[in-house]
Structure 1
Amino acid sequence: MKPVIDICASSLVKSDKVHRDVYTSQAVFEQEQRRFFASTWNFVAHASQISEVGDYVTLDLAGRPLLVVRQTDGTIGVFFNRCAHKGSKLYTNEFGNVGKIMQCPYHAWTYKLDGTPLGIPLRQEYKSNSFLQCESSKGLGRVGGVSVYRDFVFVRLDPEGINFEEYFGASLQWLDNMADRSPTGKLFIHGGVLRNVIRCNWKMYLENINDTVHPVSTHESVGKSAKSTWDAINKGNEKVMPMAVEQLLPFASGYDFFNQLDAEVYPNGHSALAVRMSTHTGYAYPADYVAALEKRLGKERTSDVLGKAPQNSILYPSIAVKGAPLVMRVIRPISVDRMMIEAWSFRAEGAPELLVDRAMSYNQLVFSPMSIVAHDDIHLFESVQKGLSADGNPWVSLHRGYEEEKVMEDVMACKGTSEELMRNQFKAWAHFIAEDK
């Protein structure tokens, strides 16, 4: 058996830089799988995916296969997707409905929807006390904790650790901001999930979500294309801007624009970028839709919901949400140099079709692996992953906007161009990857 190597996080993460091993070391990746992802809260499903009793979805989280099931009492259970007998996965499809019971395809052991054992073939041959004392007789293993917030389902793999509300704190407001864009307060997953496997470490992607300096150079061709298209269409006549142009034209913004953006960072790696003003601030909404929101939320809350459209809100380490276009990205680490990014679209119940069209369009134009935006980022992520293996300086700079290490508060404001958002992520990563927290 390969020995477990304990990595000292403090040797890898400094207040203004990180060691390249956080992206390239197999030993580091294995430790973060065992500790970081096990002790933090991670998104696994949305309740609208499993609306009926027996509905399920499967996924892998930190190398553990999971099974998310709508139980008989209407609650959501999350189990390790392995039979208590021989360890076979109960279900290998991405989603489906188990019916009234769950059954293993190997030896037909069956379980209730709450994971308790129901039936075993040749039961009379299991009468010994040793079986009853064995974990196999207890049924399916559950994850350490499950919390459902505004229909977003999160789990903590470890049985003990930080509670849900303490872990996310003020960052939960951005799930409220998203769900409250529905006149009924309900969101539903819409359409398929766009998936893309990228040959880079997962932390690179999350850093880039908070990087407002790269669009000027990385996405220069996108901005120029959108601007030239709009200039040709508009010709100074102030026509209604097509949705595609509305969503891509902000990539033509220069440093002056991005330098005006603000940000908020929260404990445990969470953040919101461009709270007061973002590339989504100018979205228009039909008057009857605004009236429907005001009827449920009141004018003040409605103004707050529609007036705040952060560029990206990260609930570290698993999701990044964009409330205005109603989209979400889910980060799925695969290996030290492989990750999957998923782009999800939402339908806001009771809202006009404009909103779901905007969500679908944004994901296709910006996050689809074949889009004119995503391929720029993917090329650079994979280039960085290879470049970090080169000899020379082993440190990656996070000095932009650094003054001195600050004591983290519940909410801390900073400039949108500061790398404080990335430093905040690594501070949380270093804390949770450590054995003693």
Structure 2
Amino acid sequence: MKSIVSTAAGDWVRPDSVHRSAYVDRDVFDAEQRRFFGATWNFVAHDSQLAKPGSYVTLDLAGRPLLVLREGDGSVGVFYNRCAHKGTKLYTDEAGEAGRMLRCPYHAWTYKLDGSPLGIPLRRDYDLQALTDCEAGRGLTRVGAVRNYRGFVFVRLDAQGVGFDDYFGASLVWLDNMADRSPTGRLQVAGGVIRNVMRCNWKMYLENINDSVHPVSAHESAGKSAKAQWEESRPPGQAALPMAVEQLLPFASGYDFFEGMDAEVYPNGHSAMGVSVSSHSAYAQPAGYEEALNAAHGPERTREILGRSPQNVVLYPSIAIKGAPLAMRVIRPLAVDRTLVEAWSFRAEDAPDLLLQRALSYNRLVFSPMSILAHDDVHLFEAVQQGLQADANPWVSLHRSFDPAELEATGTQHCKGTSELLMRNQHRAWSRFMNTMEAE
């Protein structure tokens, strides 16, 4: 297949379709690792994972190993996870406690918790002035920019670029909605992380998060089975739904239900689907929970929080959140045809345990590799990845509900839940950042 990396990035995305190279071309993937993911803001950790100074988590972002660290002053710093000496990863565990200093396992160079150099074995054998002046003597390298927003830690790898608030804009209201489901406004990662590696391009997964048409066909069997099982086994007179049934029954809905989900798209690829009604809107609130939120946030804010429970909010390109079940997916591209998806659950501080139980249940039922729903999606993602290798029409259609006026729109746009505007918005942002970085 001929690569199109050398062409203008705008040639990859049309107003109503996307070229298959965006999904299957290895050169395009390598280019977006450098350009797109360097320029955008991506989630790396939640600060509840960093209990005290010296606590850390590690991850790879766009091929770069990162170290997320609670520094001595209590702030969260993000460094490249490599010793300034020989480049060895300082830490290979997923998470841990470094203590009062960082120590390289190779030659025992040590660093303070702010990344500055602390100690070097056989220091007397170095030209200290030369060591101080060279890059190795300056300590660890920080990423371009870091922002901790409501406990969610994001980074921009590039030193220069769009600011955090400008990048996310109005979409940040949904992180506020999620965090404020705690009376204290604080969330904690809980219950472990479910991981699923899929043999598909990362863009396919993010598109599918905003595809409310596919459940009617792809998840028909799961939804109907849940409905039939409940109707058969429901005790006489019981109206309250068991948690699993409450979470699965909406997948048996028809096109009218999903079309009626209002959606919003924001600049830079972000979106919220189901802002008025969603499969999470009817969740019963635990006893005393609404009163606790009223006392903490006031009645008006509480109505805003509980009255809006979107189906999916995408903070492009790295996370998708669900406020009502307090669940989040983290999307990590591994290769042009391999994507890691993580399902995270949160505990809302000082809130009923039922909220965490809902998150854990939803992630197991819907996002686990062994769930009765995820295998439908994974099969289709991998089939799309394979199908796009065919020597056929090279363009992927995103025509549904296309309106030429959307090309000139700025700010927040509104659409029905089944519109492919949410997907077009992602690809336009991807193309714009790729094109900008190419020009620079």
Report the TM-score when normalising by structure 1: 0.97
Residue 338 of structure 2 corresponds to which residue in structure 1? 338
Spell out, residue by residue over 1:18-75, the C-alpha distance to the aligned partner (whole angstroms, 9 max, x if none): 0000000000000100010000000000000002111000000000000000000000
Structure 1 segment 402-417 matched on structure 2, within 5 A = 402-404=402-404, 405-417=406-418
Preserved CA contact (<8 Å) 1:7 1:27: no
> Using the alignment, how far apart are the partners of 2:92 and 2:128 within structure 1?
32
After superposition, residues 261-410 of structure 1 pair within 5 angstroms as: 261-404=261-404, 405-410=406-411
Does the CA contact (< 8 Å) of 1:222 and 1:372 recur in 2? yes
Q: How far apart in 2 are the matches of 1:416 and 1:255?
A: 10
What one-letter code is carried by the residue in structure 1 that aligns with 2:264?
A: E
* Counterpart residue identity of residue 113, structure 2: L
Give structure 1 stretches of 5+ with no counterpart: none
Residue 147 of structure 1 is matched in structure 2 by: 147
- How many angstroms does 1:415 deviate by? 1.1
Query: What letter is aligned with 1:11?
Result: D
Residue by residue over 1:257-296, the C-alpha shift from the partner in whole angstroms, topping out at 9 and shown as x without a partner, is 1111110000000000010000000001124110010011
1:430 maps to 431
Where does residue 79 of structure 1 map in the other structure? 79
- 1:133 is aligned with what amino acid? D
Distance 1:7 1:131, change over 3 A: farther
Distance (Å, rounded) in 2 between the aligned partners of 1:195 and 1:337:
17
Deviation, 1:412, is 0.9
Deviation at 1:411, TM superposition (A): 1.1
C-alpha RMSD of matched pairs (Å): 1.3
1:15-54 → structure 2 map (5 Å cutoff)? 15-54=15-54
The C-alpha deviation readout for 1:383-418, integer Å capped at 9, x for no partner, is: 000000001100000000002143232211011100
Distance (whole Å) between structure 2 residues aligned to residue 121 and residue 321 of structure 1: 46
Deviations 1:235-267 (A, max 9, x none): 773432100000000000001111111100000
Give the match's secondary structure for 2:29: helix
Residue of structure 2 in register with 1:196 after alignment: 196
Q: Which stretch shifts more, 46-55 or 228-237? A: 228-237
Query: How many angstroms apart in 2 are the aligned matches of 1:80 and 1:7?
Result: 32
What's the secondary structure of 2:107's corresponding residue?
coil
Matched position secondary structure for 1:196 = strand
Amino acid at match of 2:338: R
Q: How far 1:322 moved relative to its partner?
A: 0.1
Cα distance in 1 between the residues matched to 2:236 and 2:204: 40
Q: Distance in 2 between matches of 1:214 and 1:231?
A: 24
Contact 1:183 / 1:293 at 8 angstroms: preserved in 2?
Answer: yes
Larger deviation, residues 406-415 vs 347-356: 406-415
Give the number of equivalent residue pairs: 434
Q: Which residue identity does 1:278 align to in structure 2?
A: S
2:422 corresponding residue in structure 1:
421
Determine whether 1:100 maps to 2:100.
yes
- Matching residue of 1:8: 8
Answer whether contact 2:41 2:155 (CA < 8 A) is retained: yes
Q: Is contact 1:266–1:408 with CA below 8 Å preserved after alignment?
A: no
Measure the CA separation in 2 of the matches of 1:131 and 1:17: 54
> Residues 267 and 408 of structure 1 are in contact (CA less than 8 Å); yes or no, is this contact kept in structure 2?
no
What secondary structure does 1:226 align onto?
A: helix
Change (3 A) 1:5 1:19: closer
Distance 1:128 1:182, change over 3 A: closer
Tell me the SS of whatever aligns to 1:351: coil
TM-aligned CA distance change 1:331 to 1:7, over 3 Å: farther
1:433 Cα deviation from its structure 2 partner? 1.2
Which shifted more, 7-16 or 137-146?
7-16
Cα shift at 1:232: 1.0
Distance 2:288 2:235 in 1: 31
Contact persistence 2:15–2:407 (CA under 8 A): no
Give the stretch that moved more between structures: 278-287 or 31-40: 278-287
Alignment check: 8 A CA contact 1:13 1:19 kept: yes
Task: Name the aligned partner's letter for residue 196 of structure 2.
Answer: N
Classify 1:84/1:249 alpha carbon distance in 2 versus 1 (closer, same or farther; 3 Å). Answer: same
How many angstroms apart in 2 are the aligned matches of 1:117 and 1:279? Answer: 52
After the TM superposition, which residues 208-227 of structure 1 pair with which residues of structure 2 at under 5 Å, given as runs? 208-227=208-227
| Unpaired stretches in structure 2, ≥5 consecutive residues | none
Distance 1:130 1:185 in 2: 49
Q: Secondary structure at the match of 1:142?
A: coil
TM-score, scaled to structure 2 = 0.97
SS in 2 for 1:137: helix
Q: How far apart in 2 are the matches of 1:321 and 1:208?
A: 14
Q: Distance in 2 between matches of 1:195 and 1:377?
A: 15
Q: Percent identity?
A: 64
